[in-house]
Amino acid sequence: MHTPTSALRVVIAEDNAILRDGLTALLAERGHRVVAAVGEADGLHEAVAAHNPDVAVVDVRMPPSFTDEGLLAALSLRRSHPGTGVLVFSQWIETRYATELLASGAGGVGYLLKDRVADVGDFVDALHRVATGGTALDPEVVSQLMGAARQQDSLARLTPREREVLESMAQGLSNAAIGHALNVTERAVEKHIGNIFTKLELPPSDMHHRRVLAVLRLKG
């Protein structure tokens, strides 16, 4: 990790031009230098390779598909430039790749939510922590990542047959159709579904509601 003085060298990857320019101005006002500000994930790698910054500020959803390009670029950046801190700054929580990002090293990483940063000083403090090998995580991000981990643990308790039944439910098949597809009786399907609800900790309620919740666990 870099051990910068109070002034940081920063790369910003943010597709919103107003926010990108605003961050650049705010950091400059506080004595930091934004060495590059790019609007797409591909430009992040080029900027970091060219400028070797202390820290990169990266949005999650960027062109061309506006899904997870920024987070994937941040993951790649951690592998190619482990000495550069990475602060994900977004309005979205993407649990799948965020977990991988946070597990990619002991420090020098953060994840803050745009809507929940009310004080510029707090943001700059977080940027310093990440740049010097520390961490900065919004509590809401931590909560959702822990929830996602618990869901994965509960899915791991399913037997292969129960997993097949749940995947068939995700396709919208009825119990009878699931039984036909898996060559088991409808009664057996009902038993498997009951086991799925128990292992996923879905208490008794409307059957359709529980089916939807179970499928969302699979897709989460």
CATH architecture label of 157-219: Orthogonal Bundle (1.10)
Phi, psi of 171 (to 5 degrees): -85, -5
pLDDT at 149: 61
Which residue is it, tokens 């996602």? 148
What are the residues whose beta carbons fall under 8 Å from the beta carbon of 134, sequence distance 6 or more? 107, 108
pLDDT at 209: 67
Length of the chain: 220
pLDDT at 139: 79
* Answer CATH for 9-138 from 3.40.50.2300, 1.10.150.120, 3.90.1300.10, 2.40.50.140: 3.40.50.2300
pLDDT at 45: 93
Q: Rounded to an integer, what distance in angstroms lies between the CA atom of residue 74 and that of residue 88?
A: 8
Using 50 as the pLDDT threshold, list the residues of the chain that sit under it.
3, 5
pLDDT digits over 171-182, tens only?
Answer: 778 899 999 999
Q: What ranges make up the beta strands (E) of 44-121?
A: 55-58, 85-90, 109-113
Q: What is the residue extent of each domain of the chain?
A: 9-138, 157-219
Do domains 9-138 and 157-219 share one topology? The answer is no
pLDDT at 6: 77
